């Protein structure tokens, strides 16, 4: 014997054990380290809307983020001394997907530009002999995340011009997007979905007292929340009307600082052409 263990002197069982240990040691030596868990991506802004006054003052209205976070801007106080606060809410994953489909798919906002909107309005103005310039009207600016690119489109006096020129698809699309983003902001400003549902039930009760055939008002009909200088709060719903009926209206809830709520119903305002 020369001091080395020779494999042919080992019993078959012991030989198999030695070979197994060698193979395990070799595998352990080359086994890669476990990969680090993926770092979660930071939320990004996917939609936003602002109103731009004729003097150039920008008033942010709402931002929506990729994790569903909603940041709604509450502007109170006077014009000379505005008070701005941010209230938050959260969309569900389904609501976020529906919003993306509306803004990018249905309304095609990523494919529109401010220049194309103005050109379409100019053509419609000449065709119908109606002005597209509304004195004192604010401009709506909507931004959307299309892939990895942030795109914005602007249009003045959206609600008026969408009614004045219903055949201009760009304005009609911006109007639909504006309505949905205003609704998302209003739900956040009123205190979230549950609070919006309670106000909607109050509005429905009053409406059906006056019109027993009226349908139900929901949180999706909430369009405006304003804090008044006397610490009251004004909440407005737009009821589109029953199918086939011309009974659309606005339902207003005014909540006093002492906690009382006054409900009124008024016809939807007509747009002066």
Query: For residue 104, is pLDDT > 60?
Result: yes
Q: How confident is the model at residue 23 (pLDDT cuts 50, 70, 90)?
A: very low
DSSP state, residue 221: G
Strands 82-90 and 139-146: unpaired
Q: How confident is the model at residue 75 (pLDDT cuts 50, 70, 90)?
A: confident
d(CA 150, CA 138): 22
Q: Which two tokens stand for residue 162?
A: 């969408």
Query: For residue 31, is pLDDT > 90?
Result: no
**pTM, to two decimals:** 0.82
Measured CA distances, 199 to 204, 220, 253 (Å): 9, 12, 8
């Amino acid at each position: 014997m020369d001091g080395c263990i020779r494999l042919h002197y080992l019993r078959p069982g012991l030989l198999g054990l030695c070979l197994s240990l060698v193979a395990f040691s070799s595998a352990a030596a080359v086994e890669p380290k476990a990969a680090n868990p993926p770092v979660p991506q930071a939320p990004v802004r996917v939609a936003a809307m602002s109103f731009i006054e004729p003097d150039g003052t920008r008033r942010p209205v709402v931002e929506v983020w990729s994790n569903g976070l909603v940041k709604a801007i509450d502007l109170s106080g006077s014009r000379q001394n505005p008070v701005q606060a941010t209230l938050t809410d959260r969309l569900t994953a389904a609501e976020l997907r529906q919003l993306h489909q509306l803004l990018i798919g249905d309304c095609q906002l990523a494919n529109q530009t401010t220049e194309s909107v103005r050109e379409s309005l100019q053509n419609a103005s000449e065709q119908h002999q109606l002005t597209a310039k509304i004195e004192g009207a604010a401009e709506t600016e909507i931004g959307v995340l299309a892939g990895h690119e942030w795109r914005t489109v602007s249009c003045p006096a959206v609600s008026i011009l969408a009614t004045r020129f219903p055949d201009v698809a760009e304005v009609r699309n911006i109007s639909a997007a504006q309505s949905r983003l205003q609704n998302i902001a209003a739900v956040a400003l009123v205190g979230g979905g549950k609070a919006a549902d309670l106000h909607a039930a109050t509005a429905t009760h009053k409406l059906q007292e006056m019109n027993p055939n009226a349908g139900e008002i929901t949180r999706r009909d909430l369009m405006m929340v304003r804090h008044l200088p006397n610490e009251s709060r004004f909440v407005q719903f737009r009821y589109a009307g029953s199918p086939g009926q011309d009974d659309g209206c606005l339902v207003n809830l005014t909540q006093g600082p002492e906690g009382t709520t006054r409900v009124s119903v008024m016809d939807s305002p007509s747009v002066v052409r």
